[in-house]
Structure 1
Amino acid sequence: MGKLQDFLMEAQIGTTQTEVQIAPFPYPFIVKSITEAENKAIRKTCQKIEFDKKTRQKRIDTDTDLYNARLVVACCVEPNLKDAALQEKYGVRGAEDLINLILNPGQYTDLLLAVQEINGFTDDVNDLRDEAKN
């Protein structure tokens, strides 16, 4: 066996959690990582399949705003955005609508960045572009 396989045989694979302080909330949001299988399931729910009649080819488009909202909801442990009582208090149905209502754009971006970081989406596209130029 190779070193990586040895590591994988001994490693405890699981989710990690972290706290994200977002002003002006007095308590931190708690976010967790998800697996690639969960990520694929979320992405699939955000895809729209269209068929081009002329070329007879299938085109898959992903609604990135919906994907990001569902990713945040799936990773947010505290508060539980899927809680019906919390949704009812704010007069919305659905966790995505709740997160869009309780956070302003800057707060949402901070939470999304924390969710992306805990899930390993840490490479900034601009950094990769700069590396490619050099």
Structure 2
Amino acid sequence: MSKLKAFLKGNVKQVENASLKLDRFDEAIILRPLASAESERIQEGCFQNKAGKKGKQERVFNVVKYNREICVASFVHPDLNSAELQEDYGVRGADNLYSNMFLAGEANQILEKVTEISGIVQDINEDIEEAKN
């Protein structure tokens, strides 16, 4: 029974938020790790039904959308839901702000950090193949 105590919520080591300094910004961004349940919810929302062979519907996983959404969900600072930031960039919504605020290379750096702190090391292509089956 004592071995079970190591898994009780109060005994689990917390994963710290991570900071990432991007060259174009004076301050570092702060990212938080994603829980498995949150990642799964995002993943489920990234499937689309598309016409496949002979008109049969197939579920297709949108990797780009998944990557963007886990990054947006991980943001602590700056707050991508900030009306002031969205107004300044001329967009509405955290997803649109993220897409307009960061360059492609910066978005890749953010994705790498999010996957690192969240423990997402499995190749996304494996997830796609598993979802297809």
Question: For the superposition of Structure 1 and Structure 2, which TM-score range results when normalised by the shorter chain?
Answer: 0.7 to 0.9
Counterpart position of 2:23: 23
Displacement of 1:122 in angstroms is 3.7
List 4+ stretches of structure 1 deviating above 6 A.
none
Counterpart position of 1:42: 42
Cα gap change, 1:53/1:103 in structure 2, threshold over 3 Å: closer, same or farther? closer
- Verify: 1:100 aligned to 2:99, yes or no: yes
Aligned residues: 123
- Verify: 1:82 aligned to 2:76, yes or no: no
Displacement of 1:12 in angstroms is 3.1
Amino acid paired to 2:112: L
Displacement of 1:85 in angstroms is 2.2
Q: TM-score, normalised by structure 2?
A: 0.78
CA offsets per residue over residues 43-96 of structure 1, 9 Å max, x none?
A: 12211134658596x632111111111111100100111222211111112212
Displacement of 1:11 in angstroms is 2.0
Contact 2:86 2:97 in 1 (8 A): yes
Q: Provide the secondary structure at the position in 2 that maps to 1:39.
A: helix
CA offsets per residue over residues 91-130 of structure 1, 9 Å max, x none?
A: 11221221111111111111110011011024679xxxxx
Counterpart position of 1:7: 6
- Unpaired runs of 5+ residues, structure 2, are 125-133
Q: TM-score, normalised by structure 1?
A: 0.77
Amino acid paired to 1:91: G
CA RMSD of aligned residues (A): 2.6
Counterpart position of 1:91: 90
* Distance (Å, rounded) in 2 between the aligned partners of 1:123 and 1:48: 22
* Distance (Å, rounded) in 2 between the aligned partners of 1:122 and 1:85: 35
